[in-house]
Structure 1
Amino acid sequence: MTSQDRTTPPPQQYAERSYRSPAALAGGALLLLLGLWLGGDALLRGDTHTRLTALFALLLGVPLVTAFTLRPLVRAGEERLVVRNPFRTITLPWTAVEGLRAGYSTEVLTDGATYQMWAIPVSLRQRKKAGRQAMRGTAARPRFGPHADAGDGPAPRAMADQALDELREVRERAAHRDTPRDEPVAVRWAYAVLAPLAVGAVGLVVMLAL
């Protein structure tokens, strides 16, 4: 056997997972189209005061809608979890993640801090629907006979709970790999969103006061 044959195989690579809210994406796109249509009409047809008001309203509204609908994202890789929320992005190495939970919102827990994950909203309606489906499946399953286990399978889960189950699996895999232990949690503010939002808010207040 040659030295090449005795080489340890490289660790298995897993695809990066991304999570976003389809409802938020659709709602944000519709709101942006409506706002741009109304604001564009005011910019084209209005007087000077109306045009300036519309301009500042767009500077306020477009970043605000984008921040809460299109921007949120959760990306899970082999070494770290990236949580992009409306106004900041948190990069957490898996060694810093102590837990993941979903109450009224999904959260990632670290030593001394808790961060919400806006891209994975919790729907109580989905949870109730999944619970009803699970109960109907259990009630319809025969208790005895050759088909007693025919209905066995994964119980229905809400989308947020499914996403957290997948994230926990990625975290468990990361715990069995040799990864750096001293990588800090990084928090970056979204100044590209905050700057025009602040300018629009101040300008709109001034225009409405005139």
Structure 2
Amino acid sequence: MTTPDNKPPASGPPVPAVKDRIYRSPMGLVGGVLLLAVVAWLGCDALFNGHGRTPWLALATMILVLPLVIAFTLRPAVFANEERLRIRNPYRVISVPWSEVEALRSSFTNEVRTKSGGKYQLWAVPVSLRGRKKAERRAASAARRSARGGAGLGGGLGARGAGFAGLAARGADDTGPSRAESDKVMDDLRDLLDRCGNEEPAQGGTTIRWAYEVAAPTLAGAVLLVILLVTGG
């Protein structure tokens, strides 16, 4: 007779030990879908309605262009968990344990630098200078409102004046984010680095894998297009 204590474990898919946080560029995804639609529309039109060498040129161009569009818009992503940072760039996948990360830098691009001297750009987290300027303007506006609220209400209302000043500042923050989205992503990654960099599961070395599944079609399309252009006459 089987008791509740010795019941066999329920069958089902294994639960992953560590769940990834996934970061991607929304504008990159939208732009990639639109570009794919335009290329497919123009290419199919030339492929089925063109004459002479046009269908072949259209086919070669599509084989070349479609993987490039996918590689630079839909493919880039950053996967982060408590063990490692995995960067999926257009033609490479870089896996870096947190113990190997030296710094996460943000200037005109976001990048990770490793203790072994490597430097890898985060294609999925592009820097938006416009977003940074908008966030800085919001933060400056919130500070000015807070200062005006404290000066106007603090003297007459004492502690309650400070409370109204705080409400004014929070009201200003509610109008929009105080930091650009890409900077928020980098803050999340730096927090993981600070918390997990010295943990045992985050040890190891950097691994790099080339995305041949993207590079091969691109190269094939380029070779076919060159052959058609050279032999065109």
Deviation at 1:119, TM superposition (A): 0.1
Unaligned runs of 5+ in 2: 1-16, 155-160
- Partner residue in 2 for 1:54: 58
- Partner residue in 2 for 1:149: 166
CA separation of 1:30/1:180 partners in 2, compared to 1, >3 Å: closer, same or farther?
closer
| Identical amino acids, percent of aligned pairs | 45
Which one has the largest radius of gyration? Answer: 2
CA contact under 8 A between 1:20 and 1:72: conserved in structure 2?
A: yes
Worse-matched range after superposition: 160-169 or 146-155: 146-155
> Which residue of 209, 217, 221 corresponds with 1:200?
221
> How large is the RMSD of aligned CA atoms in angstroms?
1.8
**Distance in 1 between residues matched to 2:126 and 2:55, nearest whole Å:** 37
**Distance in 2 between residues matched to 1:185 and 1:196, nearest whole Å:** 27
Question: Do residues 103 (structure 1) and 107 (structure 2) align?
Answer: yes
CA contact under 8 A between 2:64 and 2:219: conserved in structure 1?
A: yes
Q: How many aligned positions are there? A: 197
> Which residue of 98, 103, 124 corresponds with 2:129?
124
Deviation at 1:171, TM superposition (A): 1.5
Deviation at 1:170, TM superposition (A): 1.3
Detail structure 1 runs of 4+ shifted over 4 Å in the superposition. Answer: 152-155
**Distance in 2 between residues matched to 1:35 and 1:127, nearest whole Å:** 32
CA contact under 8 A between 1:102 and 1:160: conserved in structure 2?
A: no
> TM-score if structure 2 supplies the norm length?
0.80
More helix by share: 2
Deviation at 1:15, TM superposition (A): 4.5
- Partner residue in 1 for 2:6: none
Q: What amino acid is aligned across from residue 30 of structure 2 in structure 1?
A: A
